[in-house]
Structure 1
Amino acid sequence: MTTTYTPELHARLRELHQQASPAPWESSNHGPGKRTYIEHPDGDVLNHDERGTGHEREDIAWVSEEDGRVIVEYRNAVPALIADHEATARKLAIYEKRMAYIAENYPLVHADVLEHAPEQEN
């Protein structure tokens, strides 16, 4: 399943980020039975023993060790991704206003730029 990054998704990620336990989180294996923990500064978030059975808290969900590492990496990346997206959106808005100004006040220059400027995806 592919998710399109929309303003609604951005708002939802920001909301989840603000409600979540503070980053940075980390993942580790320690304790009796080599338990896998996803941790943050305020305590354990998720944990499981190597058999994947039983748990110490009622509010935790079971994940594989690999999924736990993904959750940790994603959680820690979300603040930077949100900030980068918002900075890019601000820059884009400025560039769009500048292009609109050029189109209105210098239509020949605007047409020339659109015709000759290289299209880049990166």
Structure 2
Amino acid sequence: MTPDMQATINRLKELEKQASSEPWICKTIQYSNEEIYYELVNGRGKVLLDVLEASNIPEKDLFLIVDLRNAVPALIAHHEATSRKLAIYEKRLAYIAKNYPLVHADVLEHAPEQEN
């Protein structure tokens, strides 16, 4: 993992710890025929943000913010689990390359580059 990626993961983990509890939802509230408001609400039902539709924050951005907030813990956990597995596999492959160079060469020659 590159240092930049690790810094990003660390920053997201810190922000996630400090953020309001998940899951967030985005409610659409129509007060009149002309005014639509959006509320970002956290997992405890607390309104985090009221946004008038005419504001400079597009509706799609609000829903993206909510979905990202809700996905961050699972994405971080998946990334960290995958990184741990990759480190194990790299160590195993290095062991095979060192102790069984012919097997290593044969595996690399015949291994599929991607799954179908």
* C-alpha displacement of 1:30: 2.3
Provide the rounded CA distance (Å) in 2 between the counterparts of 1:85 and 1:8: 13
Q: Which residue of 1 aligns with 2:52?
A: 49
* C-alpha displacement of 1:121: 6.8
SS at match of 1:82: helix
Provide the rounded CA distance (Å) in 2 between the counterparts of 1:9 and 1:121: 28
1:1-122 aligned at under 5 Å gives the runs 6-30=5-29, 32=31, 33-40=35-42, 41=44, 43-52=46-55, 63-120=57-114
SS at match of 2:57: coil
Supply the AA of the counterpart residue of 2:40.
I
Number of aligned pairs?
A: 109
User: Normalising by structure 2, what TM-score?
Assistant: 0.83
Provide the rounded CA distance (Å) in 2 between the counterparts of 1:90 and 1:76: 23
Unpaired segments ≥5 residues, structure 1: 53-61
Computed over aligned residues only, the root mean square deviation of the Cα atoms, in angstroms, reads 1.9
Provide the rounded CA distance (Å) in 2 between the counterparts of 1:36 and 1:96: 48
Provide the rounded CA distance (Å) in 2 between the counterparts of 1:49 and 1:26: 16
Provide the rounded CA distance (Å) in 2 between the counterparts of 1:73 and 1:17: 13
Supply the AA of the counterpart residue of 1:105.
N
* C-alpha displacement of 1:101: 1.0
* C-alpha displacement of 1:29: 1.5
Percent identity of paired positions between Structure 1 and Structure 2: 54
SS at match of 1:21: coil
Supply the AA of the counterpart residue of 2:22.
A
* C-alpha displacement of 1:95: 0.5
* C-alpha displacement of 1:63: 2.4
Normalized per residue, the structure richer in helix is 2
